[in-house]
Amino acid sequence: MSNPNLVKIDYLREVAAKLTNAGFGEKGTIIKNACELLNISRPQLYRELEMVGFKSGRKQRSDKGKTCVSVEAAELVGGMVISAMSKTGKKRMPMNLALEIAQDSGKAPKVSASTMSRVMKQNFCHPTQLTAPTAHQQQRSEHPNHVWQIDASVCVVFYLNKKSGMHVMDEREFYKNKPANLKKIEKDRVIRYVQTDHTSGSFYHEYFWRSENVENLTNFFFSCIQKRSFKEPMHGVPFVLYVDQGTANTSGMFRNLLERLNVEFIPHATHNSRAKGQVEQANNLIETQFESLL
């Protein structure tokens, strides 16, 4: 426990005595000087003065803690902000605009955006509260080859044409506003498969042509479990395989293979990519530290 600041306490007692004996119109100057010296706000100064026995004598407002903003109005404004949010979490509608629209339609009182934000937080409908990630807990693996993670991603750097070979994907040619160009090379896309070992952090990756399917997944899994070289000592069959619920991962053929090898299959919930964050990070490393140099 920290020792009290005796010098500060003596000064607060001095300020309290001055306020008690101050005449009409003199208290403001005393309060201002004390706030500047202590570098605190007026409410904080009054709270600290109460600790040394000073009472301002002012009565508490009868409507303290009450607000004219209803729960329905707070939920409406919060819902407008959330509904306008993109899938990536980008806010497209600011709080003040949503509040202005609600006020113009008569569904919210004339209050400031900060007041509305405070009421929304009190009622747990603020956008930051609604978009907060769910509670999670880190998992521990016992040894190498205990838990593996596998994930497949479309390579966004290049694609492979059967006749003309590898091509770099120019952002000016392939982006969301030109879906026809993406459709044109759909069958030429390159799929990156990545495997990570949860304990050691070791990862391995390969590229496959066209699509994510059970044949490519099976061939990749065989590459992961076999001994490749002395530079890549990680090999062997894992005890647990942790993947998403993709069609290839949950197919009967691949599940049967895992069962024959005594590998426990654990798929995570949909729309929860952070559940296998290790392999997601490995994908990011490969894309930024390797593919970007090609």
Strand-pair partners of 243: 267
pLDDT for 188 equals: 58
Alpha carbon distance 163, 83 (integer Å):
46
What's the mean pLDDT in 23-43? 88
What one-letter code names the amino acid at 47? R
pLDDT at 152 over 80: yes
Q: What is the rounded average pLDDT for all residues in the chain? A: 81
Alpha carbon distance 191, 222 (integer Å):
17
Check if the beta carbon of residue 198 is closer than 8 Å to that of residue 280. no
pLDDT at 179 over 50: no
Q: Which residue has the higher pLDDT, 179 or 40?
A: 40
Say whether pTM exceeds 0.75. no
pLDDT at 174 over 70: no
What's the mean pLDDT in 273-278? 76
**pLDDT interval class at 178 (50, 70, 90):** very low
Check if the beta carbon of residue 263 is closer than 8 Å to that of residue 242. no
CA triplet 291, 147, 232: central angle to 5 degrees? 50
Q: Is domain 147-293 classified as CATH 3.30.420.10?
A: yes
Q: Which residue has the higher pLDDT, 94 or 172?
A: 94
pLDDT at 284 over 90: no
pLDDT for 161 equals: 53
pLDDT for 217 equals: 92
What's the mean pLDDT in 269-283? 79
Alpha carbon distance 190, 212 (integer Å):
9
pLDDT for 1 equals: 41
What's the mean pLDDT in 205-229? 88
pLDDT for 187 equals: 55
pLDDT for 136 equals: 66
91-146 pLDDT, tens digit each: 788 889 999 999 999 999 999 999 999 999 888 888 888 887 776 677 788 899 99
**Counting every residue, how long is the chain?**
294
